[in-house]
Structure 1
Amino acid sequence: MSAAAPHAKGWSTLSVALHWTIVVLIVVQFIDHEWMVDLWRATRRAAPIDATTEAWGWVHIVAGSLILIATLARLLDRYAHGRPPYPAEEPTWASWLARITHGLIYAILILMPIAGLIAWFGMIGEAGEIHEFLWTPLLVLIGLHVIGALAQQFWFKTGVLKRIFVPGTV
């Protein structure tokens, strides 16, 4: 196989499933964030930890690990099967913005869980700071991604939203 992924007819079933799995897991991370912060602080101080904080903290750790695995699996699937071409009716600047946004989202979805795991299992505060710092850029990029998808659908009228809901759709 060449270094460049081929163009696919549409997103694979696996890629669509992983996309929405990652979305759900990010929502879980948003919900359980404060418990993880409490667990981190209590663990660092060797303070008592209540069962709820401990349980939700571990949900955060597991969900973050699953985000890392799902992101890597999605990238492997994308490499193996390609990605659908950007719509021809979309302006070049919009395609480039989408490429940059997707690349940065993937980078954060890989780096953030790794930093979190290093922070937690290595008790390395700096890794925790990196992990925490990446949250805001991730939210900004997700917002840009959603706005871009809606712009493609309703402004450029590319019908691109259907691709992430119906596998194999161009």
Structure 2
Amino acid sequence: MGILNTTQSYGFISILFHWLMATILLATFLLGLNLEDNFQNYDAVLMLHNSLGILIFLLAIFRICWRWINIRPEPLSSKKILIKLATFIHILFYVIFFIMPLSGYLLTNLQGDVVNFFGNHLPEILERNRDMKRVVHSIHDLLGNIILAMLALHVIGALYHHYWLKDNTLKRIYFFNKIKANQE
């Protein structure tokens, strides 16, 4: 496997972005679920949750730049509906990779807490406001549920390709894929 994508498979950088963001996203989601129940370590959990959320935002910027300068593997499916659905889900992922961290940043400001990125205090954009906090909190929670549903669709789609269509869609995103050109 090379560093760059080919028309047949993803390269190391794209695969790294995929799995790194998936891992960080899952960790951020789990920290967010436990945030309100974890009063004893609230500040530490909030700092880590915020830091990972901001990291997702930054990685999304790099990932989009990488996607623009790099080729994408050709779709393995010839079904236009599957290609359109996959494209829609990927675009929605990127939109949420930006909106979710921004809503979290605003939410942290609105509840009067400092946004902390791995120990570095970030500027306060908004002052404490309980009414706005409720609205932004609802949006942040809704986005969390949407991204969870999208993640489920993404995994179901990958498993559908792997077990039902028996193509190499899933193998192309592994770190140590052994796809031969004639297997595509």
Q: TM-score range by the shorter chain?
A: 0.7 to 0.9
Q: Which residue of 2 aligns with 1:24?
A: 23
> 1 or 2 for the larger relative contact order (CA 8 Å, sep ≥6)?
1
Q: Give the aligned residue type for 2:160.
A: A
Q: CA deviation at 1:9?
A: 4.4
| Higher mean C-alpha displacement, 92-101 vs 10-19 | 10-19
Q: Does the 8 Å CA contact 1:90/1:158 hold for their aligned counterparts? A: no
Q: Which runs of 5+ in 1 are unaligned?
A: 1-5, 40-48
- Deviations along 1:62-102, whole A, 9 cap, x unmatched? 01011111122111111110211111x44221111111111
Q: Distance in 1 between matches of 2:10 and 2:136?
A: 34
Greater helix percent: which structure? 1
Which residue, 154, 158, 162 being the options, matches 2:167?
A: 158
Q: Which residue of 2 aligns with 1:46?
A: none
How is 1:1-170 mapped onto 2 (pairs within 5 angstroms)? 8-37=7-36, 50=40, 52-87=41-76, 89-121=77-109, 122=126, 123=128, 124-125=132-133, 126-166=135-175
Q: Which runs of 5+ in 2 are unaligned?
A: 110-125
Q: Does the 8 Å CA contact 2:29/2:144 hold for their aligned counterparts? A: no
TM-score by length of 2: 0.74
Q: Distance in 2 between matches of 1:28 and 1:141?
A: 16
Q: Does the 8 Å CA contact 1:90/1:152 hold for their aligned counterparts? A: no
Q: Distance in 2 between matches of 1:37 and 1:120?
A: 13
| Higher mean C-alpha displacement, 124-133 vs 149-158 | 124-133
Q: Distance in 2 between matches of 1:137 and 1:64?
A: 16
Q: How many aligned residue pairs are there?
A: 154
Percent of pairs identical after alignment?
26
Q: Give the aligned residue type for 1:85.
A: E
Q: Give the aligned residue type for 1:143.
A: A
Q: Does the 8 Å CA contact 1:8/1:81 hold for their aligned counterparts? A: no
Q: CA deviation at 1:29?
A: 1.6
TM-score by length of 1: 0.79
